[in-house]
Structure 1
Amino acid sequence: MLGHTTDLFGMLLKHFRKHRHVTQQQLAEALGVHRNTIGRWEEGSYLPESRTLVLDLARCLQLNEQETRQLLDASLLAPLPIWSVPYPRNPFFTGREELLSTIHTNLGRGQNSAFTRSYALYGLGGIGKTQLALEYAYRYAVEYTMICWIQAETLEQIQSSLLRDAQQVDLPMDADTDQQRSVRALQQWLEKHDQWLLIWDNLEDLDLLARFLPAVRQGALLITTRRQVLGTISQGIELAPLEEAMQLLLRRTKMLHTGGPNEMTCFLATTMPAEYAAAAELIALLGRLPLALDQAGAYIEETGCGLGGYLHRYQQHRLQLLDLRGTSGGNHPQSVATTFWLASERIGQQQNAAADLLHICAFLSADAIPEELFERGSAYFGPTLSSLGADPLRFDQVITVLRNLSLLQRQPETRTLSIHRLVQVVLLEHMHEAEQAVWLERILAALNALFPEVVPDTWKQCERLLPHVLACVSVFPAHASNHALAEMMQKAADYLRAQAQYVQAEPLYQRALSIWQHMVTSPPPQVAASLNKLANLYYDQGKYEQAESLYIRALDIREYALGEEHPEVATSLNNLAILFTEQEKYEMAEPLFQQALSTWERAWGPDHPHVAASLTNLALLCYHQGKYEQAEQYSQRALSIQERVLGPEHPDVNHALNSLADIYMRQGKYEHAEPLYQRALQIWIQALGSEHPLLAQALHGLANLSVEQRNEKQAKVLYQQALSLREREFGNQHIETAHILHDLQRLA
């Protein structure tokens, strides 16, 4: 019998070695034995002396799970481990290969200290911690003499699991043996044996782990928990949403064969584009949460509604579908909705301030929530949070409560928080309308207070707050109408317009205008200002007819409400004059410019930035009329005012710089024009980055200058750079794009 076994082992070893193209010498060196030892094993002279040696052979030959099991079976050293894992292997387990390798490395025999032979998987409920631990247990079962699964959420569950494990190892017990003695007997058994694995699933209280561990540890611990803070118990890793979400969803819906190659995913994208697109949208809505994906797949399998049908239903009935676990809930019977709602209820029982902060985050963008929103805006958030701004330690305590259930993540390097979008969905769907209204009013007040005036110096702060403004605004009912909402939407739209994101800005301006127009208490100047902002947006996009209509309406309102000498009336006059200049209606533009300039000089004095802007506009008008000397005087005066008042590097200086450079070029003063264009270009790059469409103005000017200087090669490069910026933002039908394209084509 032994001879037959050694022959079988030898044949298997030789087959695996040759299949991997490994020589006996190479295998011997990797294993740290003599080459003759490998030869005698393969001849069937004798077997390896230990199970560990067989596993080392498997590792050196990079055998898979099945091959390793075959080699162990043939060696007569492969008794099944003592096994108390209560769940079957998940046939739909997908991805996480690097994490499995990391766990295996950290729990391996080469790790000497107790700390390094324990590893924790932590993260949000439903993120896949238990499934990952389960897959690890099945995949690496052959490397352990015992694998015990401990339900660790409560003391009672822990004790019950340990008693079951004690029975698995056939410890002497009778009916009179109490629980404490049985658990102690198991601890003593663990102290005397090695290569065991204890999986503590859903551990909530770290003190319970220390209470039940054996004094001497010769095995490994794998822990799953929602707690992000593990102290000295274990090192660990936070599980992120599943990267391979598409494969999981397609496998769970049986559209992709389990274990099939990933190339099939691309094939399905080509052959079933509508279903694949629905899957991609659904994955985004579900935030790549494995539990949600499994739940969706179960529903689709049970009902046959298809991915497109489920997506449509989810968009209409989010909470109902998130609360349907399906008939095969497996080892996670609770639905997504139940999992998150119970966690939020638990937070409310522990600390009201933490519950309130979580509710606020439900209304914001899920990622990069600025901590300063709670530090500087806490006064707007109600009595439980009002002191957070003045007490950073209390803020830390509130965050700790939420991190203990992984309901929030904290990014200290950016001083931001994040929350999973499905946690937001569950929280919002459970709030009644009146409760939502209270929170929206508070959050809107805080965002309004923190969102600065839109000028270049504040753009970074605007960018940091913008996603949260847009998320909050999207939750407001379509019929919502109040001043704070209109103000907030206009601020957000102002920033989007400054960044040339006109498509996103337009609906915000339009909704804000609608609110001002329909509120009886709206002051007429505010309505005019809103009309003016929307008109400016249309002007930027070359929609001149729409812009003119709104400018005239704003002018009429301001003249009636404020009087003809008011500075805001001058603003409307100036805007109309700019529009007329662009439309080559010079005789209509000039008196409006002159009237606006006189009004601003009387109101603010001769050195105000508005006066400089008006002078720049007059210079442009004279330029188009061929009055270059007068244009140069206006432009030089405007530049002097702006440099003196705003500083030489302020982006608003560029309008005067470009205007003066254009005038110099038209007069043939190239040596004066070029440094002004270059200076304007560098100021814009410094303030806006290298991709902003405003750079096209200076690039276009430099290109025209290169043409005048007979440097057509350089001109072509500059025209193309300017054209690329304009086309990216405005498309190829915009008038500014057409101007550049026309000049470029002249070079051909």
Structure 2
Amino acid sequence: MGPAPLRNTGFTGRDDLLGMVRTGLVGEPWRPLILYGLGGVGKTQLAVEYSHRYADEYDLVWWIAAEDRSQATASLAALGERREWPLSLDMAQTVTTVLSRLERGGVRWLVVFDNAGAPEDLASLVPSVGGHVIVTTRDAAWLVEGRPVEVEVFARHESIELLRARGRDIGFDEADRLAEHLGDLPLALEQVAAMQSVTRTPAREYLRELEERAVRLLAAVRPGDYQATVATAFAVAAERVRAESLAAGQLLELLSCLGSEPISLALLRRAGGQVAPPLGRLLDRPDLLDEAVWLLRRYGLIKVLDGGQALHVHRLVQAIVRDTLPAPARDGAFDNARRLLTTANPGNPSEPLTWDMHAQIGPHLRPARVLEAADSAARQLVVDHAMYLNEIGDYDGSRRLSHDAWTAWRQQANPDGVRVFICLRRLVAALQALGRYAEAGTLVDEAWSGLQTHPDYGPDHPTTLEIADTQAVLHRVFGRYGEALRLDLDRVERYRRIRGDDHRDTILARNNLGASLRAVGDFRAAYDIDAALAESRGQDLGPDDQRTLLSVSNLARDLYGLGDYARALELQQSSWHAYRVRLGDRHPLVLNALRTIVLCLRKSGRVGAALEEARRLYLVSQGHVGPDHELSLAAMMTYANTLCAAGEVSRAWNVAMDAMDRYRRQFGEKNPLTLAAAANQAIILRAMGERRRARQVGERSFYILRRALGEDHPYTIAAAIGVGNDLALAHEDDIARRVLTQALRDARRVRGQHHPETLICAVNLGLLQPAEDPPAGLLAASIDQLRHVLGPEHPLVVAAVEGRPGECDIEPPPV
């Protein structure tokens, strides 16, 4: 049994409905069964009773609170964790795995989506085959999504039976009249009976109060409006609480302005100093809080959960309490709810120790109307929670929250406030994590241009510099490496002038400058920055700190770019264990580090070991961040290159084709990442003997790369070497020599005399030189140097000795 509610030992009637539920699930298991009806009509209790009554028919029963998509997503992810199915940093990928496992069959399962919201938000989370699904909802839009079973109010005899069993000294006629006033609504009947029993109010007097104090709830468009008689029942209870304790009444009002999820006493107590008395005094005093909770329980207005450590107010009670308050009191209750949540905000969402409190706060943000507030504390709470959702992998939840907040804040006073731009950064980060780069780019371009000339900001303002960092990242994503480098150089200089060399903002800006330097191919300059950062961070933060490990990984990538594969491999492997312990096997930074290890293994000649790790990287990244993410695409291309190096060219081609299609869709035809993948594809085509196609693909990528990045960029040089190989295979030796001669000249200037790719270019050129020509000595000298750099048994050295040209694939660094 999953996290389903406890069985209601006083469950009354409903035998016909339970039979209909069972028949529907068994007869049409491929369709979800929709329990539809008024709020409080007993849909949840019916599903609970079915879950327990037929528990022996299932191997797995899982209960999902489905009012909010993020909650439902988290619950499905928790099911995956409970069943020990593969998990992912991206919660959406974990849910995909869970749904696949459920739909595979082999286990008799029942999944209940309780109080489901709009089907367009949740339908993708509902398994389609393999077991039984129950959805309880007030939303009529679900009726076309499955087999509906409408849950009506109690039959009158069931209402009378419940009232007489639960209430105190209620006669048959009195029970009949009470049921009439309450509209036979099960939730109202049960709670009114409990209140009458505790307070010992004579049934006749209670009837008179209902008749005199009847209120109507505003009608809603969709079915599920609460009936006036129900409102009266709880309005009477709330008034009695206020009469006995104003502070307890204010506590109920505060709770009614939060979500319907339980709220812990620990969270409530955090707000005492921020809320005016008498409620603030009550929250500061555990004894007064306990008394208020006892009073609210007496009147059946709340439930106490988790051994007395959490409170739960039913959504029906919340609605009635809120809507019967005068406007000033209602505004005050919402203000207290927001104060509670902002005071409880632990901040620092990148620190896992804060995640439990962030998880408790999240379900209450929208009900408390925090997104509508304009004060800085409320806005900080929202941006912190959006970052928390991003940290735990709920990228879509982070996107929706930050998008809604950003949209609302731009329509309020101070639409250019600092936190509006921080919220924009959270939105952009979520879009990037989801691979929605174009949307992210449009938003950042708009913000960047506005900040530059804004009278309250300007180029030196911290907010402008933070947006500039995001802008630089997107420049690299879209292949605008020169623009990214100029932006990062400018940020470093501004931070140095404003903050000083040792400020954390300056250090972070230097770290990001290293990424832009790698993107333009200046690995030596990147190495100088990363070596200094790795040393200083190791001394200041310790060798196992996440920031130190990041600098070490960047340094290893610099060494790879410089052609020092052995040192790069040793360095990255030395920090590998600490990185995994710190962040876990599936964190994107850890996966990028694993990719560096794969590349270094392959370039060092250890192709078998590289292939094993490349396959693992490929599979993990696909399942972890999705197949279209930049990290997954890079891992896919790395796997294809490794397969080609291992001689498995057919498999390499299939993987490379998939990668190319995704690169084109995600980044466009002329993005350097797409063109680099095309150059690699040409290598695979040559290995397959597809010379004509290889030349077509390789020449196109070379010419576009040369125009986009210049002839000095490492990608262009590598692509030129491939074009030279195509020309040699076509026996166009003169043109091939000219192309390779220029490529060698560029490689020596850019990559250095002894870089392995420079030496491969020299070998390929030497293979084309007639034996009687004076430059013929180039071949022997280049093979000797390549042997010295890579070792005599390296596959490239062996190929050169045998007279076969080498290839230079392109493995872009993380952008």
Contact 1:456 1:687 in 2 (8 A): no
In structure 2, relative to structure 1, the CA distance for the partners of 1:621 and 1:292 (3 Å cut) is closer
Question: Equivalent residue for 2:188?
Answer: 337
Matched, 1:663 2:663: no
In structure 2, relative to structure 1, the CA distance for the partners of 1:323 and 1:468 (3 Å cut) is farther
Q: Which amino acid aligns with 1:128?
A: N
CA distance in 2, matches of 1:652, 1:287: 51
Question: Equivalent residue for 1:452?
Answer: 346
CA distance in 2, matches of 1:587, 1:573: 14
Question: Equivalent residue for 1:312?
Answer: 139
Contact 1:680 1:698 in 2 (8 A): no
Contact 1:364 1:471 in 2 (8 A): yes
Deviation per CA, 1:550-588, whole angstroms, max 9, x where unpaired? 223322333323233334333333332222223332222
Q: Secondary structure at the match of 2:429?
A: helix
CA distance in 2, matches of 1:671, 1:286: 68
Once the two structures are overlaid, the 10-residue window that deviates more, 356-365 or 505-514, is 356-365
CA distance in 1, matches of 2:330, 2:617: 47
In structure 2, relative to structure 1, the CA distance for the partners of 1:730 and 1:691 (3 Å cut) is closer
Question: Equivalent residue for 2:690?
Answer: none
Q: Which amino acid aligns with 1:270?
A: P
In structure 2, relative to structure 1, the CA distance for the partners of 1:669 and 1:310 (3 Å cut) is closer
In structure 2, relative to structure 1, the CA distance for the partners of 1:491 and 1:286 (3 Å cut) is farther
Q: 2:519 aligns with which of 601, 624, 630?
A: 624
Matched, 1:252 2:11: no
Q: 1:597 aligns with which of 472, 483, 492?
A: 492
In structure 2, relative to structure 1, the CA distance for the partners of 1:712 and 1:628 (3 Å cut) is same
Matched, 1:588 2:483: yes
**1:600, distance to aligned residue in structure 2 (A):** 0.6
The structure having more radius of gyration, on CA atoms, is 1
Contact 2:272 2:282 in 1 (8 A): yes
Q: Secondary structure at the match of 1:288?
A: helix
Contact 2:349 2:387 in 1 (8 A): no
CA distance in 2, matches of 1:405, 1:385: 19
Contact 2:371 2:382 in 1 (8 A): no
CA distance in 1, matches of 2:588, 2:42: 36
**1:616, distance to aligned residue in structure 2 (A):** 2.0
CA distance in 1, matches of 2:47, 2:440: 51
Question: Equivalent residue for 2:26?
Answer: 267
Matched, 1:512 2:405: yes
Matched, 1:439 2:333: yes
CA RMSD of aligned residues (A): 4.2
CA distance in 1, matches of 2:314, 2:576: 42
Q: Secondary structure at the match of 2:139?
A: helix
Q: Secondary structure at the match of 2:602?
A: helix
Alignment of 1:494-643 (within 5 A): 494-560=387-453, 561=455, 562-643=457-538
Question: Equivalent residue for 2:386?
Answer: 493
Q: Which amino acid aligns with 1:312?
A: D
Q: Which amino acid aligns with 1:508?
A: L
Matched, 1:360 2:254: yes
Contact 2:472 2:488 in 1 (8 A): yes
In structure 2, relative to structure 1, the CA distance for the partners of 1:352 and 1:730 (3 Å cut) is same
Question: Equivalent residue for 1:736?
Answer: 631
Question: Equivalent residue for 1:220?
Answer: none
In structure 2, relative to structure 1, the CA distance for the partners of 1:374 and 1:525 (3 Å cut) is closer
**1:711, distance to aligned residue in structure 2 (A):** 4.5
CA distance in 2, matches of 1:400, 1:409: 9
Q: 2:278 aligns with which of 351, 362, 384?
A: 384
Contact 1:353 1:385 in 2 (8 A): yes
**1:724, distance to aligned residue in structure 2 (A):** 4.5
CA distance in 2, matches of 1:714, 1:503: 36
Q: Secondary structure at the match of 1:466?
A: helix
**1:285, distance to aligned residue in structure 2 (A):** 10
Using the size of structure 1 for normalisation, the TM-score is 0.56
Contact 2:241 2:295 in 1 (8 A): yes
Matched, 1:128 2:3: no
Q: Which amino acid aligns with 1:255?
A: M
**1:518, distance to aligned residue in structure 2 (A):** 1.6
Deviation per CA, 1:88-114, whole angstroms, max 9, x where unpaired? xxxxxxx9xxxxxxxxxxxxxxxxxxx
Q: Secondary structure at the match of 1:332?
A: helix
**1:674, distance to aligned residue in structure 2 (A):** 4.2
Deviation per CA, 1:174-217, whole angstroms, max 9, x where unpaired? xxxxxxxxxxxxxxxxxxxxxxxxxxxxxxxxxxxxxxxxxxxx
CA distance in 1, matches of 2:398, 2:368: 17
Once the two structures are overlaid, the 10-residue window that deviates more, 507-516 or 644-653, is 644-653
**1:426, distance to aligned residue in structure 2 (A):** 5.3
Question: Equivalent residue for 1:372?
Answer: 266
Alignment of 1:115-194 (within 5 A): 128-131=8-11
Q: Secondary structure at the match of 2:445?
A: helix
Structure 1, unaligned runs of 5 or more: 1-94, 96-122, 133-247, 257-261, 295-306
Deviation per CA, 1:371-429, whole angstroms, max 9, x where unpaired? 2322221233442221245433333333344455673324359x544455555455456
In structure 2, relative to structure 1, the CA distance for the partners of 1:479 and 1:688 (3 Å cut) is same
Question: Equivalent residue for 2:44?
Answer: 288
**1:710, distance to aligned residue in structure 2 (A):** 4.4
CA distance in 1, matches of 2:639, 2:41: 45
**1:450, distance to aligned residue in structure 2 (A):** 2.2
Q: Secondary structure at the match of 1:565?
A: coil
Contact 1:454 1:491 in 2 (8 A): yes
Contact 2:382 2:402 in 1 (8 A): yes
In structure 2, relative to structure 1, the CA distance for the partners of 1:722 and 1:129 (3 Å cut) is same
**1:668, distance to aligned residue in structure 2 (A):** 4.8
Q: Secondary structure at the match of 2:35?
A: helix
Matched, 1:707 2:596: no
**1:502, distance to aligned residue in structure 2 (A):** 1.6
Deviation per CA, 1:475-532, whole angstroms, max 9, x where unpaired? 5399776665544322211211222322111122122222332223344544443333
In structure 2, relative to structure 1, the CA distance for the partners of 1:469 and 1:455 (3 Å cut) is closer
Q: Which amino acid aligns with 1:496?
A: L
Structure 2, unaligned runs of 5 or more: 51-133, 144-149, 164-178, 180-184, 192-233, 644-650, 652-815
Q: Which amino acid aligns with 1:337?
A: A
**1:740, distance to aligned residue in structure 2 (A):** 0.9
Q: Secondary structure at the match of 1:279?
A: strand
CA distance in 1, matches of 2:415, 2:450: 13
Count of aligned positions? 483
Alignment of 1:718-729 (within 5 A): 718-729=613-624
In structure 2, relative to structure 1, the CA distance for the partners of 1:520 and 1:404 (3 Å cut) is closer
Deviation per CA, 1:149-180, whole angstroms, max 9, x where unpaired? xxxxxxxxxxxxxxxxxxxxxxxxxxxxxxxx
**1:597, distance to aligned residue in structure 2 (A):** 0.3
Using the size of structure 2 for normalisation, the TM-score is 0.52
Alignment of 1:411-450 (within 5 A): 411=306, 415-420=309-314, 423-424=317-318, 427-428=321-322, 435-450=329-344
In structure 2, relative to structure 1, the CA distance for the partners of 1:621 and 1:522 (3 Å cut) is closer
Q: Which amino acid aligns with 1:397?
A: E
Q: Which amino acid aligns with 1:521?
A: N
CA distance in 2, matches of 1:700, 1:323: 59
In structure 2, relative to structure 1, the CA distance for the partners of 1:527 and 1:131 (3 Å cut) is closer
Q: Secondary structure at the match of 1:496?
A: helix
Q: Secondary structure at the match of 1:331?
A: helix
**1:694, distance to aligned residue in structure 2 (A):** 4.1
CA distance in 2, matches of 1:726, 1:281: 43
Contact 1:399 1:408 in 2 (8 A): no
**1:599, distance to aligned residue in structure 2 (A):** 0.6
